[in-house]
Chain A
């Protein structure tokens, strides 16, 4: 009886087995995500006007009563607001002052704390800016699966003033989330802010008039 021992082949097999997950992400851009969701019942075509704050709030945890929240530094905040404005206008929306009762209000925010849950922490932040708003948010007809966000994420919510629920929550008709967008180098962030916000509007064709 003759039995060959093909050791090289067995070694080759062991090396191959190490390759179950080849080519993992290496660049921070490979981790970028743009997520959007919207209420299927809201008539975006009927809404024509919007208001937009002039800076981007930072969500870092609960605020004490009367405590002012932090803002994203102007280097990025201005760029974020400008890019949202450019896309809204390009989609046929008209910007008006928040005091003139816009059809929707667009609220950008950045997340500093890891895995913060927007559901439970957002409401209190916006009270300072739109004092007639209630405590929190609700998402009519849909559920934003990505409710836990990582550090550096940018979140944009489009809400409707005056449609506060009986429990004091405000409806979010459109949400856009950019995971980890505000991480990395300064130049890299600037590029990714532009492309990320553009992408959010591109994949939300129902916002176009």
Chain B
């Protein structure tokens, strides 16, 4: 599936245009866990960072990659957890650190205007490190998962070719034997610069 997604990405990029432009993106995301990750940690993540790179292959299409990290944390004051005949109660400290890397393809609308919406799709991998601390015990799972990453947003161009980007990315992790898919929605604000 990963190879297929990569092939689609390269086809969509098409032949490199002569006016290729490199864009670097520094993004701060606020992330909301969904599915299994949302069940494990209710609280949104305010700790994270994304580094992105895009090359404009023509006036409307960009290809590149995103590398990101988000930390989810929740303290559960006191609860009882049942596992078969066993039950354990205590304060829980739950952490999930998700590291993502994906190849992205974007379509950017309104060529030449100051405000340019865009949509995109990406595929890659994520490494999710789930930690559950209870008392002196720590339970950990750390699967690598296949990742799909659709995105949409708007770029607000400023002087000098720099831009402010507001975006929404969905990090869709695929289930593995070790853990359900670790997915989350990230709303980001980014600063983009390039040549």
Contact = CB atoms under 8 A, between A and B. Distances in A.
Interface of A: 1-4, 6, 9-10, 12-13, 16-17, 19-25, 29-40, 141-142, 144-146, 150, 179-180, 199, 203-204
Interface on chain A toward B: helix, strand, loop, or mixed SS? loop
Interface of B: 26, 28, 47-49, 51, 69, 71, 73, 75, 80, 82, 84-91, 93, 95, 97, 131, 133-137, 160-162, 191, 193-195
Interface on chain B toward A: helix, strand, loop, or mixed SS? strand
A68 to B, nearest CB: 31
B97 A34 contact: no
A23 B71 contact: no
B157 to A, nearest CB: 14
A33 B137 contact: yes
A21 B131 contact: yes
Contact of A19 (B71, B134, B136): B71
Given A21-B131, A180-B135, A37 B191 contact: no
A108 to B, nearest CB: 18
Given A2-B195, A25-B91, A145-B86, A180 B136 contact: yes
23 contacts: A2-B195, A3-B195, A4-B162, A16-B48, A16-B49, A20-B95, A21-B131, A22-B47, A25-B93, A31-B90, A33-B89, A33-B136, A34-B89, A35-B86, A38-B85, A141-B85, A142-B84, A142-B85, A150-B136, A179-B135, A203-B80, A203-B82, A203-B87
B90 A6 contact: no
Given A22-B73, A32-B135, A33-B135, A17 B49 contact: yes
